[in-house]
Structure 1
């Protein structure tokens, strides 16, 4: 199997794209450490993995929590092969009315978390030389990082920064034979978009403005993340894969 016995950490693994990615990698043999703030949701994901899921509740915006996660991975598994930085979140807000706390929350969950987890778990990955290009980090950015979304300036800024951070990290980790790429989903059915999709007018607008004329599914994004994490992408690093159903070409 493509990820047979590969030790993998996925943040935001309790639902949506994170859960779908855990299932995708798990069914291909990965040993998946499921990270998120809600233990119950992580356990629901673990139940889908047929024994390949290991639950580790943590707040990835907390330096001490991420330190504990890195220590756990090293002590339990001895090494790390794949890291998926998927945790994120958004909120509505216009720039002229946006509070500092609202800005900080969105930056922390979408950008600071990627920095903390990449730094501390990147050290675990770099600590052991493996076969050439068989280790990878995949950061989940967003279509909003390519094109600013209405009333989500803090989210758009954070996701654009994730893509540039990915490039910088790819350069720094290349000597360790660790590849780093990002994946930018378009509009996908997740708990984050659930409320909006219940509004038929809003859903129809999304479909009209997408070349494929439909909303994406978490499993579709998970397959692209799996590709970027696999040795099928062994000569790809420092790039972003846009998976938006053709939103930007309409």
Structure 2
């Protein structure tokens, strides 16, 4: 785990669930700079207050209202984050839209939209993040540059009522694995945080706070012991592909 005291994390796909809880966990563990990225500025303000309330001490939380589907807008946001917070050590890519789509009814626009969110936007993140991650790994032995991508059960167990998201999540998982193959030898930890089911507060494991702690555990893994994928599921769903 990094011993650095000046650390920045970026949450892409903020919200009151996994995104905000992950930001709070990292902020409580020496990450004094937090960037929250999502479309809804009103919700972002609420997310920022939630993160600040969960942490004692000095912390900078900045919010960025942007649409990851718009490459020019999104890449401009990423550049602004660099100007505001400097070098980033951790990124959680958590952007997704969960909406119903079924075979024979799903439209081209829905499929393209979800692919833009899951993979094209992630590609833009990688172009921005990986060069600075590689430099950080080379210059600071205590740093652990990490990209965590929230995945799901859908690549292995697609659902017929969310066809578009199922397809796009499969593409995203493949893209993330290829990033790992390319950049792990250069000192960058690329990992999948597989949320294998639906997240509710009453769940034993599939709840936002537990998932956030698993994101921290991924980051905290020692070099040489990095894992590619942490799968989170409820005991009853094991073996059922849910």
**TM-score (norm: length of structure 1):** 0.81
**Does 1:188 pair with 2:199?**
yes
Q: Aligned Cα RMSD in Å?
A: 2.4
- Provide closer, same or farther for how the CA distance between residues 215 and 20 of structure 1 changes in structure 2, counting only shifts above 3 A: same
- Aligned partners of 1:175, 1:236: CA distance in 2, in Å? 13
- Aligned partners of 1:161, 1:48: CA distance in 2, in Å? 32
- Provide closer, same or farther for how the CA distance between residues 175 and 239 of structure 1 changes in structure 2, counting only shifts above 3 A: closer
What residue is the counterpart of 2:21 in the other structure?
20
Q: Bigger CA drift: 130-139 or 155-164?
A: 130-139
CA drift of 1:234 comes to 2.8
CA drift of 1:11 comes to 0.6
What residue is the counterpart of 2:6 in the other structure?
5
CA drift of 1:48 comes to 2.3
Alignment of 1:81-92 (within 5 A): 81-92=89-100
**Cα deviations across residues 63-116 of structure 1 (Å, max 9, x unaligned)?**
112321232232233311111101111221222221111111222222222222
Q: Is the 8 A contact 2:200 2:206 kept in 1?
A: yes
Alignment of 1:207-218 (within 5 A): 216-218=206-208
- Structure 2 counterpart SS, 1:97: coil
- Aligned partners of 1:236, 1:133: CA distance in 2, in Å? 15
- Aligned partners of 2:181, 2:143: CA distance in 1, in Å? 13
Q: Which runs of 5+ in 1 are unaligned?
A: 191-206, 208-212
CA drift of 1:122 comes to 2.3
Q: Which runs of 5+ in 2 are unaligned?
A: 53-58
CA drift of 1:238 comes to 6.6
- Structure 1 counterpart SS, 2:91: strand
- Provide closer, same or farther for how the CA distance between residues 138 and 55 of structure 1 changes in structure 2, counting only shifts above 3 A: same
- Structure 2 counterpart SS, 1:225: helix
CA drift of 1:9 comes to 0.7
Moved over 6 A (4+): none
- Provide closer, same or farther for how the CA distance between residues 238 and 168 of structure 1 changes in structure 2, counting only shifts above 3 A: farther
Number of residue pairs aligned between Structure 1 and Structure 2 = 228
- Aligned partners of 1:150, 1:4: CA distance in 2, in Å? 46
- Provide closer, same or farther for how the CA distance between residues 58 and 13 of structure 1 changes in structure 2, counting only shifts above 3 A: same
**Does 1:226 pair with 2:216?**
yes
